[in-house]
Amino acid sequence: MTQATLLLAEHDNSELAPSTYATVTAAVAMGGAIDILVAGDGCAGVASTAAAIPGIRRVQLAEAEALRHPLAEQLAALVLDLAPEYTHLVAPATTFGKNVLPRIAALLDSQQVSDIVAVESHDTFIRPIYAGNALATVRSTDGKKVITVRPTAFERADSHGGEAAITAIDVPELPPLSTFVDEDLNQSDRPQLDSARIVVSGGRGLGSGENFRIIEELADLLNGAVGASRAAVDAGYVPNDYQVGQTGKVVAPDLYIAVGISGAIQHLAGMAGSKVIVAINKDEEAPIFEVADYGLVGDLFTIVPELVEAIRASR
Amino acid sequence: MKILVAAKRVVDYNVKVRVRSDHSGVETANVKMSMNPFDEIAVEEAIRFKEAGHGDEVVVASIGPRQCEEVLRTALAMGADRGVLVRSDAALEPLAVARLLGVLAEREKSDLILLGKQAIDDDANQTGQMLAALLGWAQGTFACRLEAVQDGLRVTREIDGGLETLFMPLPAVVTADLRLNEPRYPKLPNIMKAKKKPLETLDGDSLGVDISPRLHTLRVSAPEPRKGGVRVTDVAELVDRLRNEAKVL
């Protein structure tokens, strides 16, 4: 069978998520033709966006009301219908891909390779284990490779220059298992945490949700995103989707500023790939300093406002 | 409602693992092991469900070597009714674990299966979804809230943009995220009582399930350590270095 990849696009029916572009780069490294599946409702615009990515053979557009929200049961049934044509099924290792792809893998009798950070060949990949404290190189022996891709580990593919054909596909009857009730999405004008160039994160050292304002002020000044440690989320200072770490979001910005974060291994797993790390903490023994390029020991409530002033003054 | 919970024995949360010098894996000899923290949350949720009058029995299962009994005893001390150990000394991948759990679920006639969203050793985040697929059941992954409602469950999930709530009929598989609950510490009398609770052992090879590995691990290595950084003395030095040395401002 000729090698061909079906890539599940992550989108919200109006925009293609940045994670999709990074996943394309990983799929290109695996080789073979690449088709993108855009499944949703009223998402033809997303399909056009996907078709403009260079290196894509075809965009499969599946539109149905049942696909408005990416429910795993429905998406898996849809992909299973398309699967015979493909040797590789890939999706970003975001909550979207993590939810749906293992369901597809099991139905295809394939052992998924999760959260890859590098592609060695069409069947061999590198993935972090033990919260990133080890990297495993694994080869899949399954006929169909099912793979989730860590978006921050790959450059994003270009968004222009491609002219892939768009094929509308018939949506089969989808199993009415789970149904969407509602969602509570955090609205913010800030850049997204997993794709921002600069991330400012706060930890337990902030002491309250109100005090997070100084983190936000610094982030806004730098046009950055706001993140948090698990401790800060558990304490209720900020919502769950701010969490950076082994089980939260994995970020790899150009600059990561950790404020009042001690640096548990579970947090480091989510940010150790950042290009430059700054740590501000009053405890000079805090493990965060071991991974920081620039460490500043002191009271964050003094340092952060000073930092804001200094950056403003120097512009 | 019969609830099945799956609990994996893993290297303890607080252990910083070391890669073996022959690159065959990480060192697990003489390392503290305990229940996967996400599975602990799943066990707690199952017990709370029963305590709230939604469940009749909580069965906890673990798959692996004899020592997984310790994990089961912990779950029994927390309040699970009965334990099942599926003995296997093989290195099991998520698909194999899902298959074995599927057989158990049919045997136990489970209505709800709870497990952690991922194990902190292989970080695969697959077993629950695969199990739901193999059984043809609904799945509620990364749950931070679980409610029994008429004819099924309402599951609130932690997703990248915030929260999402789904309704699903039973039977269903739910995987626990961090904020679903805070697991209880077993009290001493309950630890003593747990020793007398039924714990059955099954042979993993006798369940008629293909558990052969599909992935070949070619090499396990330690990540490149980050180069040691510097301590700056004040904010002025920090801004100067970020601007002129790191060039990120």
Give me the residue spans of the domains in chain A. Answer: 4-168, 198-313
Q: How far is B75 from chain A (nearest CA, A)?
A: 23
Output the pLDDT for position A125: 98
pLDDT average, residue stretch B191-211: 95
Q: Give the orientation angle of helix A72-82 with respect to helix B127-135, to 10 degrees.
A: 70
In the predicted structure, residue A66 carries a pLDDT above the cut 80: yes
* Mean pLDDT score of chain B: 96
Mutate to test the interface with B, among A276, A283, A306 (most CBs of B within 10 A): A276
Question: Tokens standing for B61?
Answer: 């299962």
Neighbours of B196 (CB within 10 A): 8
The 10s digit of each residue's pLDDT in A150-199 is 999 999 999 999 999 999 999 988 877 999 999 999 888 899 898 899 99
Rounded CA gap, A39 and B98, in Å? 27
CB contact under 8 A, A129 and B161: no
CB contact under 8 A, B231 and A128: no
* A243 strand-pairing partners: A228
User: Which percentage of chain B shows pLDDT scores above 90?
Assistant: 95
Q: Does A29 touch chain B (CB under 8 A)?
A: no
Q: Using CB atoms, which residue from A73, A131, A183 is nearest to B139? A: A73
The 10s digit of each residue's pLDDT in A206-247 is 999 999 999 999 999 999 999 999 999 999 999 999 999 988
pLDDT average, residue stretch B185-214: 95
Output the pLDDT for position A174: 83
Q: Closest-CA residue in chain A for B95?
A: A111
Q: How far is B14 from chain A (nearest CA, A)?
A: 9
| A-to-B residue pairs, Cβ atoms closer than 8 angstroms | 254
Q: Closest-CA residue in chain B for A188?
A: B161
Output the pLDDT for position B145: 97
ipTM of the shown complex: 0.96
pLDDT average, residue stretch A28-41: 98
Query: How far from each other are the two terminal CA atoms of chain A, in whole angstroms?
Result: 58
For residue A258, give every residue at least 6 positions away whose Cβ sits within 8 Å of its Cβ, in sequence order, or none.
A201, A203, A271, A277, A278, A279, A280, A281, A288, A292
CB contact under 8 A, B168 and A177: yes
CB contact under 8 A, A133 and B216: no
Neighbours of A226 (CB within 10 A): 21
CB contact under 8 A, A277 and B118: no
Q: Closest-CA residue in chain A for B215?
A: A140
CATH class of the A198-313 domain in this structure: alpha beta
Question: Tokens standing for A305?
Answer: 């406002």
Q: Does B231 touch chain A (CB under 8 A)?
A: yes
* Mean pLDDT score of chain A: 96
Rg for chain A, CA atoms, rounded: 21
Of B62, B61, B50, residue with least CA distance to B1: B50
Output the pLDDT for position B225: 85
Rounded CA gap, A200 and A55, in Å? 35
Output the pLDDT for position B228: 75
Question: Do residues B26 and B220 lie in contact, with contact meaning Cβ atoms separated by under 8 Å?
Answer: yes
pLDDT average, residue stretch B7-36: 95
In order of A254, A288, A309, B10, the CA distances from A221 in angstroms are 16, 23, 10, 43
Any idea of the CA torsion for A173, A176, A181, A187, to the nearest 10 degrees? -40
Q: Does A88 touch chain B (CB under 8 A)?
A: no
Per-residue pLDDT band for B147 (boundaries 50, 70, 90) equals very high
For residue B81, give every residue at least 6 positions away whose Cβ sits within 8 Å of its Cβ, in sequence order, or none.
B57, B58, B59, B197
In the predicted structure, residue A42 carries a pLDDT above the cut 90: yes
* Fold of domain A4-168: Rossmann fold (3.40.50)
In the predicted structure, residue B18 carries a pLDDT above the cut 80: yes
Rounded CA gap, A94 and A77, in Å? 20
Output the pLDDT for position B197: 98
In the predicted structure, residue A33 carries a pLDDT above the cut 80: yes
Question: Do residues B86 and B100 lie in contact, with contact meaning Cβ atoms separated by under 8 Å?
Answer: yes
Q: Does A199 touch chain B (CB under 8 A)?
A: no
**Which B residues in the span 19-78 are in contact with A, Cβ-Cβ below 8 Å?**
19, 26, 38
In the predicted structure, residue A314 carries a pLDDT above the cut 90: no
Question: Do residues B46 and B148 lie in contact, with contact meaning Cβ atoms separated by under 8 Å?
Answer: no
CB contact under 8 A, A133 and B17: yes
* CATH no., domain B2-223: 3.40.50.620
Q: How far is A227 from chain B (nearest CA, A)?
A: 12
Q: How far is A234 from chain B (nearest CA, A)?
A: 7
Q: Does B195 touch chain A (CB under 8 A)?
A: no
Rounded CA gap, A275 and A175, in Å? 44
In the predicted structure, residue B29 carries a pLDDT above the cut 80: yes
Query: Is there a cis peptide before residue B171, judged by omega within 30 degrees of 0?
Result: yes
